[in-house]
Copies of this chain bind each other. A is one copy, B any other.
Amino acid sequence: MSLVTCDLSISLDGFAAGTDQRLDAPFGDGVGDDGHDLHRWMFDTPEEHAAELGAITEAGAFIMGRNMFSPGRGAWDLDWTGWWGPNPPYHAPVFVLTHHERAPVEMEGGTTFHFVTDGPEAALARARAAAGEKNVAIAGGAATVNQYLAAGAIDELRLHVAPVIVGRGERLFAGLGHTPLRLISARCTPMVNHLTYGRA
């Protein structure tokens, strides 16, 4: 059965990004200086986390927030095609939640960015249709994940918890009320704890 999944790297104190998201951050990944620690496991020791890394991009369609697509940009920029270069790692349709209409942007390798202006529910319906038998992945950022969590729409929340306190930034679970979850799987390593949760 097709699932709605979500992979998110967070700090031990629950932040998915630092406060200083911008495109000229040291690693150019738009997650902010503080946030880089959260993604160290991907960049420094990918071979140790091959299964988890592979699972992140195996979905048949993706949904992301506008701020993940173009972090730190005040205005909508038609020249901007994401920070992943000409061949993004998705290789599938990516539905970007935004208030600004824009024609789809076809990238190399099978990734096409579609801009959805009628809300997260509509984006999920379009992503499900595009994914077919495959999963739909909520790619981030935290605000977008929180919207889908609040709606009870996420079947597998795959957290990658880095051993760092960040102290500020975009918080996963912000605004959510009491929600019991169920641990599906756990694999803990010095660099990161991979914890997958589902609905209780």
**A residues near B, CB below 8 A?**
12-14, 34, 37, 149, 163-167, 172-173, 175-183, 186, 188-190, 193, 195, 197, 200
Residue of B nearest to A173 (CB): B13
Specify which of B165, B167, B180 is in contact with A37 (CB 8 Å cutoff). B180
CA distance A12 to B190 in the complex (A): 19
* Residues of the B chain whose Cβ atoms lie less than 8 Å from the Cβ of A14: 13-14
- Residue from A12, A14, A186 whose CB has the most chain B CB atoms within 10 Å: A12
CB distance from A190 to the nearest CB of B (A): 5
Knowing A164-B179, A178-B164, A181-B164, the reply to whether A172 touches B34 (Cβ < 8 A) is: no
Chain B residues near A178: list those with CB within 8 A.
34, 37, 164-167
Contact assessment for A188 and B183 in the assembled complex, using a CB-CB cutoff below 8 Å = yes
Say which residue of B165, B166, B173, B183 sits within 8 Å of A163 (CB atoms). Answer: B183
A173 CB contacts on chain B under 8 angstroms: 12-13, 165, 167
Task: Give chain B nearest CB distance to A196 CB in angstroms.
Answer: 10
| B181 and A163 contact, CB distance less than 8 A | yes
Q: Give every chain B residue within 8 A of A172 (Cβ-Cβ).
A: 13
Please indicate which of the listed interface residues A164, A178, A197 has the most CB atoms of chain B within 10 Å of its own CB: A178
- Are the CB atoms of B186 and A193 closer together than 8 Å? yes
